[in-house]
């Protein structure tokens, strides 16, 4: 039974496809919304601690993709169907979050669109997308890689929240 959840062999049809797909979707959104894309990757205000967490976040994201090369889909299973639904849901939310971010006023707190429900929707839905991939492959390996990724993302988000509190004050705290 545990073999089902720990399959680890190089595969052409596997988890790496949707993982790379999420990165490509992010790049497409950034090329369509050029100004918003520049803002989304602006780390000029990061303090040293936030920079370290952001670096770890990127490293664990790449590690997730590297591990995904060895994780096949579990096609024809409930795992695959549920994971696929979660992944597609995450993609739709990612596009909505990027659109909400990029169409907002540059110097104002974003409170419209998906930002009514989350302060960090791009990060949250990216994680949900990776979780959907892990579910569709029924992979304990991908779930294990996801844990340090979430830890590093959380550290980055904490730094971003400090910046937003300084920049937007009480409006952000509400």
Query: Cα–Cα distance between 71 and 91 in angstroms, integer?
Result: 20
Joined together, the tokens standing for residue 157 give: 């988000």
Q: How do residues 27-54 score in pLDDT, each as one tens digit?
A: 999 899 888 888 888 899 999 999 999 9
User: How many residues are present in the chain?
Assistant: 174
96-123 tens-digit pLDDT: 999 999 899 888 899 999 999 999 999 9
Tokens of 38: 């520049």
- What is the number of other CB atoms lying within 10 angstroms of the CB of residue 136? 26
Distance, CA of 48 to CA of 54 (rounded, Å): 10
Higher per-residue pLDDT: 1 or 22: 22
Higher local confidence (pLDDT), 5 or 120: 120
What mean pLDDT comes out for the span 134-156?
A: 96
Domain ranges of the chain: 49-173
Each residue's pLDDT tens digit, 72-91: 999 999 999 999 999 999 99
Distances (CA, A) of 105 to 108, 161, 173: 6, 18, 19
pLDDT at 1: 63
């Amino acid at each position: 039974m545990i073999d089902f959840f720990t399959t680890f062999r190089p595969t052409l049809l596997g988890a790496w496809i949707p993982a790379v797909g999420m990165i490509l979707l992010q790049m497409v959104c950034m090329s369509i919304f050029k100004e918003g894309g520049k803002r989304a990757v602006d780390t000029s205000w990061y303090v040293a601690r936030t920079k370290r967490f952001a670096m770890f976040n990127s490293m664990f994201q790449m590690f997730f993709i590297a591990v995904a090369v060895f994780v096949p889909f579990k096609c024809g299973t409930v795992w695959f169907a549920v994971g696929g639904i979660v992944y597609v849901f995450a993609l739709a939310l990612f596009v909505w979050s990027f659109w909400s971010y990029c169409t907002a006023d540059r110097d104002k707190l974003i409170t419209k669109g998906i930002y009514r429900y989350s302060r960090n929707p791009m990060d949250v839905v990216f994680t949900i997308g990776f979780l959907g991939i892990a579910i569709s492959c029924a992979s304990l390996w991908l779930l294990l890689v996801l844990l340090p990724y979430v830890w590093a993302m959380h550290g980055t988000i904490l730094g971003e929240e400090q910046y937003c509190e300084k920049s937007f004050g009480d409006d952000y705290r509400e």
